[in-house]
Amino acid sequence: MNKLKKRWGIESNFQIVLILIVFAITGSTSAKLAGPLCDLLGFNQENSPWYLYWFLRIVLIFPIYQVLLVFFGWVFGQFEFFWQFEKKMLSRLGFSRFFN
């Protein structure tokens, strides 16, 4: 736990628990929402090749996850941590010009 606290720059074990809960909820929710979004776009397992359907679904999970991570971070009172986390992650993917 101390390694995580030092790495993430946080001070309490309770904050670690909240952060891990946010990661869990965000991952589950984004995966769950990608299915109906694929259906809304007209792609489902019945009318699309399996590889196209799953590729699109996985691609859709990424932006949904990014938005939900900050949202659930805010809900659990950890907005600042997740906002910094998002900026760091997106800058590593080449989106750093949007955060300067």
Q: What is the pLDDT of residues 56-100, one digit of tens each?
A: 999 999 999 999 999 999 999 999 999 999 988 888 888 766 665
Among candidate residues 35, 8, 26, the one with its CA nearest the CA of residue 66: 26
pTM: 0.82
Burial class (CB in 10 A: 0-12, 13-18, 19+), 40: exposed
Q: What mean pLDDT value characterizes the chain?
A: 90
Among candidate residues 27, 20, 22, the one with its CA nearest the CA of residue 72: 22
